[in-house]
Structure 1
Amino acid sequence: MQYLKSGEFFGVINETTRMQGIILTDTEYTHERVDWHYHENPYFTFILQGNVIEGNKKEIYNCSAGTLLFHNWDDAHYNNKPPGFTRGFHIELDKDWFMPFGIDIDNLQGNINISDPAVKLLMYAVFKENKLNGNDCSLAIEALLVEMFTKIQGNAKLLKRDKPLWVERIKEMLHEIPENLRLTDIANDLNLHPVHLSRDFSKHFNCTLGDYKRKIRLEKALVLLSRLDYSLTDIAMECHFADQSHFIRSFRSQYRITPLQYRKLLLNK
């Protein structure tokens, strides 16, 4: 089984940024098949464009744009790439990087498919910082990474608790329901009292129901910005913003740049 050392990834590396304990890599996936392998350090894979299939000992992930995976250093996996252009952003972390922040990497075993939209939005923020500021953004990126791991570990603790059945159901609903659906409609579908749902949602998601839904909309918009066949108006409609102006205002409030500026960062390798 192949063992990849620090900074090594299969494919064509477009750009590498090295910081203390951190390596950021922008990589084009060029291999149709990458056999079982593992890496010297733990790292994130964030799919920016295209699609790749990744398998490990437990699961197989169909990774389209916006997919975020975390791999611990000793966990083997393989990749198959369907036809078409695929590009990923990797953040590799030296094992000693975690210690000063009190992050216990042993609690993050295996290959983890991260679905929390809050964590994904932080990853997009890391990408933005790297593309805008390069080596001058180490402080900002470290702070974002610590926040990401805080949320990931918090989510892991929540998963270990007993949770009501409605928690998994509402995750699916919030990605599917129309924007104009009311709290009472959601509560009725889950067979809950709306006050109970509103009060207990934050216990299981660490944010309000409204905040969670807004994060889903922005996450979807960020994925669609990688596709040139979608105009800003198309994205605003697809993500249920009132109009393009509302989309731009919401996006700029979150990222301090416009969607068009972010698209240029995303597509200019």
Structure 2
Amino acid sequence: MNEVKQKRVAISSGQYASLTYYPANTEMAMHEHQGHQVSIVLSGALAESDNRQQQNVFTPSLCTKPAEFGHANQYGKQGALIFSLNFSKQTFDEYAGGVDIDWYWQPITAKPLLQMVKQSVKGMMINNESFQQQLLWDLLAIRQGVTLASERHKVSWLVKAKQYIEHSPENLNLTHLAAELGIHPVYFSRSFHKHFGCTPSLYQQRCKVSRAISLLSKNKLLVDIAHDSGFTDQSHLTRLFKQEVGFTPRQLKQLIAG
């Protein structure tokens, strides 16, 4: 199994940013972090649990996690790429005094916010403290006070459709998938978007990018990665990869390997 790959950059004495790739099916036993953490899943999926419940998480999602909170993780079939801002308790209070932080997951549906997250990942290389502070405020501002719903609360055919898209190595015809499930294509797309925060076609695109990142960690050639991930060619891979993750496959490989 490939090892976890991480790029960590100190931003201030009480704050650092990290970009971490967890390989497919990686498991992390119950553990905790010394400081508060705000994380964004840029690619892939995972299940995170404490002693009482489990959250099933997919791209793109936001998490806030308090210091010393015990949790375990199981990463998905394509692994997961996660960007995190990490704060000592003192630094967090200086930035966001009066804000209570708890264990909380929710999908990111606002495109401007997601774009800012991607810019922040790039900002790891310039240690922009004021930019990271502004990002923290924006992320905390979108908290809705409810955790991401568990898969068991969703309609069964929606869960099945999502799993088909995740596990298929080829491009699925989503109209045919809807017909196979006995669902009208328009209702299929509308319901999928309502429950998962993105259209089926966009989710399929994100799953292809997740497969590409998994293959990228194995040092395969980009032309082969493009073919094996379901992209038409290498330029198609690079364009959509940059759109979803924030930079090109080569830049990501260089960043997490550095």
Q: Which amino acid aligns with 1:105?
A: I
Shift of 1:206: 1.8
Question: Is 1:242 aligned with 2:242?
Answer: no
Counterpart Cα distance in 1 of 2:123 and 2:174: 36
Secondary structure of the residue that 2:147 maps to in structure 1?
Answer: helix
Verify the 8 A CA contact 1:26 1:89 in the aligned structure 2: yes
Question: Is 1:136 aligned with 2:133?
Answer: no
Q: Tell me the equivalent position of 2:11.
A: 18
Shift of 1:261: 2.6
Q: Tell me the equivalent position of 2:77.
A: none
Verify the 8 A CA contact 1:22 1:91 in the aligned structure 2: yes
| Percent identity (aligned) | 29
Q: Which amino acid aligns with 2:101?
A: I
Instruction: Output the TM-score relative to the length of structure 1.
Output: 0.59
Question: Is 1:73 aligned with 2:63?
Answer: no
Secondary structure of the residue that 2:212 maps to in structure 1?
Answer: helix
Distance 1:263 1:26, change over 3 A: closer
Q: Tell me the equivalent position of 2:201.
A: 210
Q: How does 1:22-171 map to 2 (within 5 A)?
A: 22-24=15-17, 38-43=32-37, 57-58=51-52, 71-77=65-71, 91-93=85-87, 94=89, 95-96=92-93, 99=96, 105-106=101-102, 108=103, 126-130=120-124, 132-133=125-126, 135-136=127-128, 138-139=130-131, 141-142=132-133, 156=147, 158-159=149-150, 163-171=154-162
Structure 1 residues without counterparts, runs of 5 or longer: 1-12, 28-33, 48-53, 62-67, 80-87
Verify the 8 A CA contact 1:56 1:77 in the aligned structure 2: yes
Distance 1:103 1:214, change over 3 A: farther
Q: Tell me the equivalent position of 1:64.
A: none
Q: Tell me the equivalent position of 1:227.
A: 218
Instruction: Output the TM-score relative to the length of structure 2.
Output: 0.61
Query: Of the two, which has the highest radius of gyration?
Result: 1
Shift of 1:215: 1.8
User: Which structure would you say has the larger RCO, counting Cα contacts within 8 Å and 6 or more residues apart?
Assistant: 2
Verify the 8 A CA contact 1:120 1:219 in the aligned structure 2: no
Shift of 1:247: 1.0
Distance 1:264 1:166, change over 3 A: same
Shift of 1:177: 2.9
Distance 1:158 1:25, change over 3 A: closer
Distance 1:257 1:178, change over 3 A: closer
Aligned length: 224
Q: Tell me the equivalent position of 2:172.
A: 181
